[in-house]
Amino acid sequence: MDKNISFTLKIWRQRGPKEQGAFETYHMEDIPGDTSFLEMLDILNEQLVEKGEEPVVFDHDCREGICGMCSLYINGHPHGPATGATTCQIYMRRFSDGDTITVEPWRSAGFPVIRDLMVDRSAYDKIMQAGGYVSVNTGAPQDANAILISKDIADEAMDAASCIGCGACVAACKNGSAMLFVSAKVSQLALLPQGKAEAARRAKAMLSKMDELGFGNCTNTRACEAECPKNVSISNIARLNREFIKAKLAD
Partner 1 sequence: MTKIDSKIPEGALAEKWTNYKNHQKLVNPANKRRLDIIVVGTGLAGASAAASLGEMGFKVFNFCIQDSPRRAHSIAAQGGINAAKNYQNDGDSVYRLFYDTIKGGDYRAREANVYRLAEVSNNIIDQCVAQGVPFAREYGGTLANRSFGGAQVSRTFYAKGQTGQQLLLGAYSALSRQVNKGTVKLYTRYEMQNLVIIDGRARGIIARNLVTGKLERFAAHAVVIATGGYGNTYFLSTNAMACNCSAAIECYKKGAYFANPAYVQIHPTCIPVHGDKQSKLTLMSESLRNDGRIWVPKKLEDAKRLQRGEIKGADIPEEDRDYYLERRYPAFGNLVPRDVASRAAKERCDKGYGVNNTGLAVFLDFSEAIGRLGEDVVRQRYGNLFDMYEEITDENPYKTPMMIFPAIHYTMGGIWVDYELQTSIKGLFAIGECNFSDHGANRLGASALMQGLADGYFVLPYTIQNYLADQITVPRFSTDLPEFAAAEKEVSDKIAKLMAIQGKESVDSIHKKLGHVMWEYVGMGRTKEGLTKALSEIKTLKKEFWSNVFIPGKADDMNIELDKALRLSDFLEMGMLIAYDALQREESCGGHFREEHQTEEGEAKRDDANFSYVACWSYQGEDKAPELLKEELNYEFVKVQTRNYKS
Partner 2 sequence: MWLINSSVGRKLVMSISGLFLVLFVTFHMAMNLVAVISEDGYDAVCEFLGANWYALAGTAVLALGFVVHIVYAFILTAQNRRARGNQDYAVSERPKGVEWASQNMLVLGLIVILFFLLHLVHFWGKMQLPEILGEYPEGGIDLIQQVFSSPLNLVLYLIWFVAIWFHLTHGFWSALQTLGWSNKVWFCRWKLIGNVWATVVLAGFAFSAVVFYVKYGLLG
Q: Footprint of partner 2 on this chain (CB under 8 A)?
A: 10, 21, 23, 73, 75-77, 83, 102, 104, 107-110, 172, 174-177, 179, 207-208, 210-211, 214-223, 225-227, 233-235, 237-246, 248
Does 165 bind partner 1 (CB under 8 A)? Our answer is: yes
**In the complex, minimum distance from the CB of residue 243 to partner 2, in angstroms, rounded to a whole number:** 7
**Contacting residue, 114, 200, 213, 226, with partner 1 by CB under 8 A:** 114
Closest approach, Cβ 154 to partner 1, in A, equals: 4
Query: Cα separation of 178 and 163, whole Å?
Result: 12
**Which one, 4 or 102, has the nearer CB to partner 2?**
102
What CA–CA distance (Å, rounded) separates 190 from 131?
A: 12
241 binds, among partner 1, partner 2, none (CB under 5 to 8 A by kind): partner 2
Smallest distance from partner 2 to CB 112, Å: 8
Binding test (CB under 8 A) with partner 1, winner from 3, 151, 249, 251: 151
Cα four-point dihedral sign 118, 187, 125, 112: positive
Is 64 a binder of partner 1 (CB under 8 A)? yes
Of 69 and 244, CB closest to partner 2: 244
The end-to-end CA distance of the chain, in Å, is: 63
Look at residue 150 and give the partner it binds from partner 1, partner 2, none, a contact being a CB closer than 5 to 8 Å depending on partner kind: partner 1
- State the Cα–Cα distance between residues 133 and 135, nearest whole angstrom: 6
Amino acid identity of residue 155, one-letter, is D
CB neighbour burial string for 120-153, b if at least 16 within 10 angstroms, e if fewer: ebebbeebbebbbeeeeeeeeeeeeeeeeeeeee
Task: Round to whole Å and give the CA distance between 99 and 8.
Answer: 6
The HSE-up count of residue 127 (CA atoms within 13 Å, CB side) is: 28
For position 52 contacting partner 1 by CB under 8 A, the verdict is: yes
Q: Say which entry of partner 2, partner 1, none residue 80 contacts (CB below 5 to 8 A, set by partner kind).
A: none
